[in-house]
Structure 1
Amino acid sequence: MRTIRLGTRASALATTQSRHVADLLTAATGATVELVPIVSYGDVATGSLASLGGTGVFAAALREALLRGECDVVVHSMKDLPTAAHPGLSIGGIPARERQNDVLCATGGRALAALPPGARVGTGSPRRAAQVRRVRPDLVVVDIRGNVDTRLRRVAAGEYDAIVLAEAGLRRIGRTDEISEVFPLEEWPTSAAQGALAVELRQDDLDGALGEALRSITDPVAAATALLEREVLALLEAGCTAPIAVSATAVGGEVRLHAEVYSADGREVARARATAPLAALIPVPAHPAPAALIPAPLTTRARVATAVATTLLAEGATFLAEGASTLAEGATFPAEGASTPADTPEPRS
């Protein structure tokens, strides 16, 4: 196979993730993989992610470069990828998933319960903000931008008492020593597809050697759980900045799905759970359309996701629209000051 050009954002986390995928592709095919750095609008713009239109702003530049032929594949943090299909592109590979949990990184190694009233907790995620407020309404949740290293430095400098991040990102860049508490998924579900990577390619390449290479690095359990979570998110017609948590875990031969929707202040929550056989959720490519990583409607995945989304809406998740409006107006977080282009902001780490 010829050299594969892999488009990536230039941040440390994005580059680490892309190198991981590059190594998988080389091991599977023997091909040389060249990383192609791409700068997105989200990397240089200031303001909260919600005001910029959500973390989909990071995916847009990668997708445009792929369609222009500047690269052959691109790697996304799957939780930051919009659920709507992009014309001309398809998810071709989903490698093995990292841990899905959120973690707290706090001064003095403190847990969330040990933080004093009025402590400043930084997050760029409305979902995490709502979860913190629900557990500790006496804390001050503050918007934060910047890459993982920048955020950790700001905690060390005393600008924040704690920040909430994805465990997966810290594991990938070797910073797990910064973790003071890991939130259990049973009590603190996370974003749809958190910890998963999505490798996207042009649809015209799905049937060729490149599409086959991406299928060869796909982990069936990662694909089953991440795609199920994203299906729930899509059915709720919510984007990746909405205060929604959807976590699916494989336990033996069963997948357990847990979803929650929050009001922006965390006071209201709707919950739903479901289980399904793992084997029925694993996407099986169908000849002659390898794009069938995403099965047709009315599959087990669609039925389970529909049942969960219906329960959430019936239990009052309609307050989501009001919460999303508040986020768009920038009223959810106290301002922490604009980030600078030098910070190279990450998607919601």
Structure 2
Amino acid sequence: MSAATTRRALAWAHGCLSVQSLGGMLGPVLFLLPDGRQVSPLQVAPWGNDPERATLPEILQELRGEWPCVPFGSDAERSLPAGWSATGESFDGAGVPHGHGSNTHWSWGDCDERRIVLECHYPDDHPIRLLRRSIVPDPGASAIDITLEIEARRPCRLPIGLHPTFRLSPRPGSVVIEPGSFDRVWSFPGDVEPGAALFTPSQQWPSLGAVGTRGGATVDAAQVPLADDTEDLLQLSDIDGSVALHYRDEGFRARLSWQKEHFPSLLLWYSNRGRKAYPWNGRHVALGVEPIASAFDLGPAISNGVNPLAASGVATAIAFEPGKTFTTRYRLSVEAASAG
């Protein structure tokens, strides 16, 4: 690794949290429920102490929890079906996975016993100048309020997103995805991981309850982990800015809320033992629950280009201007819930 990862932690009446410099990633977080139970819903990748992780892209070396992606996804050579075009506005360096901020060490800002603040300065030739994020536990609840500020160096349009990743219980279907109201479910227009795709590509459905598979069946994609080994994506468009995960075996819900005018879609990343190569090794079981203004994770050239999501009226990028700070706020919380 190019630099040693440093960490800061906070404790408050309803939990404790950790934030790392690499990627500015939040996690783990331990929440205290009103009945005295402790729950830790964010995922921490199982290879975090493996010395071989230094050979990985920076984003994967200490992969955990939640962080912002500016831009979201990355440009890459892809074979896409009709209706998709990689001819939109982009920039040199757009091939970095989930943006510069996901692959570098952030600097610590004005931290105290109530908040953690981090900043990430982007390269001089990048259209973005600075990211700043503030992580503040709610003193009266099992909840964390997060603010992200983006400052542009020059006018640009970029897909952006948030990347909360949640751990899953081992039993298939033990966690239920409970999204707020949304328009439709979109499947990825290709293979997220060769040989590990599950959902019928380039399709749409009205709900997660019956999503078509490549074998001709349907699956309830709201109940995770899935029974099959897979690595796949679904995008919920025009969502109202809220989602919950009901951990039925553990008797709690984790909730995420955000500003829907900034992130009109929710990307669900089903990391379900589908990736077999190092460091995944067929053991990674987690769910990405990612508010986005993006066309999946396909990068600026596609998100700014011709794509079916944008053609349907769904924003797949955000415009940034120098001198105008973009500020968005979101909240992660937990609550007790009935088991089963």
Calculate the TM-score normalised by the size of structure 2. Answer: 0.25
More helix by share: 1
* Structure (1/2) with the larger strand percentage: 2
Between 1 and 2, higher relative CO (CA 8 Å, sep ≥ 6) is seen in 1
Using the size of structure 1 for normalisation, the TM-score is 0.25
